[in-house]
Structure 1
């Protein structure tokens, strides 16, 4: 780790842990405004907390052993939580993120070949090409222009997703894609007060009405995309790209996926498949901009590798600091800040010290990467941005269930390798040519609206190196 600062001191913005429990009214207000502001000091210092929200027993699990028990060892006893499904199923229906039981198993099995590490490596050159193409928007503007990097990273990752998984075949109209994604996932993808009260599904959730028009727009986009590709396959299969879209369409049938399941999964990947990576990239550029020594070391690493004209398929392994900085940003700002499960039957967990956690049927277990990644029992200086944690020799000391940017267990993110490779390639291309600096207007505040996003965007000054 020569030349890398050992004690980076930047503490990015985050809610201060509560010291007084919130009232029921405060809980509702905070969940509607920003669930990240709900958590008290015990959530960052205790291995687990047993509490009750609106008559529902809830366990906040930070202990890695308990997390492993719920997500892996006894995963069959835990289903997707009711509140999570109330939020996401109206959008994604039986997409991979929300499907359960046989439907989920069929979809996961069908898509797994596309996201193997070997197959993901095959996308590296397309990821580089799309990242370089994206830079033309910076070249066409004046030097030192201020851009909303949160929006830019959404559009960049969408372009990469469109090219790699759909061969550029998403039949879309001209418009503000980043704004549409924001409206879809963050007007509909939020907890409504009726969800907290466990109201029946038929009761309207008024907080989501604004997103219904955008949802219809995305569903129409998916229909056009499917119909266009079906026409190509029907006319001449040899001319159809061998990509994710073709794979899904050819799995349609009694032994595969239904047309509706295919539609749901395409919508899941178009609407949400790039979103988590986009947020993590934006937070990485922000944290790096506030850590000049780390940025300089990253630029040196990037310049050294790119000077050799190395194949982008090798960048992930040859740029350990770039990868470490991205992973550290995901620690501080996990793209998916909560993992929710409900116990199907009574269960218990016995910790190594003999303490017992009784988990009754119907209990909600919250595995919170947001609190876990900032937990004082498991991290040194947990609120400080320090990529050294993830450098070779240090990364191996981090427990598997201590760091969960992609989840764990059977439902671990299918695109984890894809996302890591995409992030390193995008950061290398961007940072080789440009510097991203904060301005007086760069005052992000992390807000949980499905993903961890910066409220008000991330305006940053972009200048050539």
Structure 2
């Protein structure tokens, strides 16, 4: 007999039962796009609709998703609204570049993020996780309340800085997480002018003040580049062979321009750690409400650490830790929407013979937020159930019903890096501490560039009891 409690259902918007009007759409998208979607988005395989006089296809069917993102990916470009939001920040960084610029950048960076190369980062990930865990030492028997959203941003940034930039990012602020949050708050949200497809030169009221914080990030990147270029000129043999050096050596007619290199460094410094950080915080929150999950993770962590296994092997040796993180990303996908636009007329035929016609210019919305909570594809879709991702169960999950890292040519280049980082960080933190949710603390998910807790995520951090 299964005596486990009913699985925890973390906070999330309830699907709408009445379609919103035009003004309500604008207000909701500005406030929190996650609150926009209605019942059909969570129950139907696809929906054809009009969104501000624009033909839109909301896609949930895994086969249709594969068609758009993989099989006929060349027919689908980045949607205009996505670029209106992201290009002012990242310009020709990997997330926003298209055509030849994207192909050059992706090809150049691919060697750094191959699974084999990413495994080489495990030692630095472990060292940074241990160093950060010391922040919670001497917290006393009652523990200490911390904003885990901030803490995980700081930890993920420390790992990214050490692994990809050898600790050479020239920051002027100890609270780098505040700078990132400020940037995303000012620049990483939909403005009403974006919905109306106003040209980029039309001012976005919601981004007033954003230019200043973006300029601060650009200065960090320029100073970081200058410091490393000086090191390379002085003694190339003593210069770290890391991601930063690789990018700077691509400067030239056959590689990337200095502006493109700057854009890519900004992309990784500003956004490269943000997705992992958010997923770590949401995972710790969900685990705190699921004692049987926490117990299984702690037992697994203790057992693996007792063997002296190298951190490079933890991803394979800790399936419960990995499953909890993957379930955290299912419920709170770091990138909650994937937007495309059809270049030419297209069509797709479902297994039952139904044909979906896609006219040129149609906006395609593939939304991990609704897909990951969809009634057709998940049992108890709103519940935190990491067992879905354990080795004996994960074969039931269709490749294109779970998209925390996207899919196709533009799949996240750092997926292996992020998974390894998350398992190592969780294992180190949970081997020493427990993270307990505060009574009445129900963090509300908000979509900016990532899925964030609206008012932070305060939790009580305690020294983990032994033999409990």
RMSD over aligned CA atoms reads: 1.3
Matched, 1:365 2:367: no
Matched, 1:116 2:96: no
| 1:43 alignment partner in structure 2 | 41
| 2:429 alignment partner in structure 1 | 430
Question: CA-to-partner distance for each residue in 1:213-238, whole Å, 9 max, x for gaps?
Answer: 11000000000000000000001100
Between stretches 106-115 and 354-363, larger displacement belongs to 354-363
Q: How does 1:353-432 map to 2 (within 5 A)?
A: 353-432=352-431
| 1:201 alignment partner in structure 2 | 200
- Secondary structure of the 2:93 match is coil
Unaligned runs of 5+ residues in structure 1 are none
Q: How does 1:312-323 map to 2 (within 5 A)?
A: 312-323=311-322
What is the alpha-carbon distance in structure 2 between the residues aligned to residue 462 and residue 442 of structure 1?
14
How does the TM-score come out when normalised to structure 1?
0.98
| 1:157 alignment partner in structure 2 | 156
Unaligned runs of 5+ residues in structure 2 are none
Residues paired across the two proteins, number: 463
| 2:132 alignment partner in structure 1 | 134
| 1:351 alignment partner in structure 2 | 350
CA contact (8 A) 1:8 1:386 kept: no
Matched, 1:238 2:266: no
Shift of 1:397: 1.3
Matched, 1:9 2:23: no
| 1:25 alignment partner in structure 2 | 23
Q: How does 1:208-247 map to 2 (within 5 A)?
A: 208-247=207-246
Shift of 1:171: 1.0
Shift of 1:141: 4.3
Shift of 1:440: 2.5
Shift of 1:176: 1.8
Shift of 1:175: 3.4
Match of 1:98 among 96, 99, 105: 96
- Secondary structure of the 1:42 match is helix
What is the alpha-carbon distance in structure 2 between the residues aligned to residue 5 and residue 448 of structure 1?
36
CA contact (8 A) 2:139 2:462 kept: no
What is the alpha-carbon distance in structure 1 between the residues aligned to residue 407 and residue 127 of structure 2?
31
Question: CA-to-partner distance for each residue in 1:363-403, whole Å, 9 max, x for gaps?
Answer: 00000000000000001110110001000111111000010
| 1:174 alignment partner in structure 2 | 173
What is the alpha-carbon distance in structure 1 between the residues aligned to residue 243 and residue 6 of structure 2?
41
- Secondary structure of the 1:135 match is helix
Between stretches 390-399 and 139-148, larger displacement belongs to 139-148
Question: CA-to-partner distance for each residue in 1:150-178, whole Å, 9 max, x for gaps?
Answer: 00000000000000000001011133211
CA contact (8 A) 1:4 1:297 kept: no
| 1:287 alignment partner in structure 2 | 286
- Secondary structure of the 2:435 match is strand
- Secondary structure of the 1:175 match is coil
What is the alpha-carbon distance in structure 2 between the residues aligned to residue 280 and residue 374 of structure 1?
16
- Secondary structure of the 1:443 match is coil
Question: CA-to-partner distance for each residue in 1:87-135, whole Å, 9 max, x for gaps?
Answer: 0000000000000000000000000000000000000010010000001
Question: CA-to-partner distance for each residue in 1:300-339, whole Å, 9 max, x for gaps?
Answer: 0000000111100000000000000000010000000000
CA contact (8 A) 2:139 2:463 kept: no
What is the alpha-carbon distance in structure 2 between the residues aligned to residue 122 and residue 418 of structure 1?
10
Closer/same/farther in 2, CA of residues 440 and 6 from structure 1, 3 Å limit: closer
What is the alpha-carbon distance in structure 1 between the residues aligned to residue 179 and residue 128 of structure 2?
21
- Secondary structure of the 2:208 match is helix
CA contact (8 A) 2:435 2:462 kept: yes
What is the alpha-carbon distance in structure 1 between the residues aligned to residue 150 and residue 210 of structure 2?
18
Shift of 1:4: 10
What is the alpha-carbon distance in structure 1 between the residues aligned to residue 297 and residue 199 of structure 2?
51
How does the TM-score come out when normalised to structure 2?
0.97
Structure 1 runs (4+) greater than 2 angstroms displaced: 3-8, 140-143
Shift of 1:62: 0.2
What is the alpha-carbon distance in structure 2 between the residues aligned to residue 312 and residue 383 of structure 1?
32
| 2:67 alignment partner in structure 1 | 69
What is the alpha-carbon distance in structure 1 between the residues aligned to residue 270 and residue 399 of structure 2?
29
| 2:55 alignment partner in structure 1 | 57
What is the alpha-carbon distance in structure 2 between the residues aligned to residue 442 and residue 130 of structure 1?
29
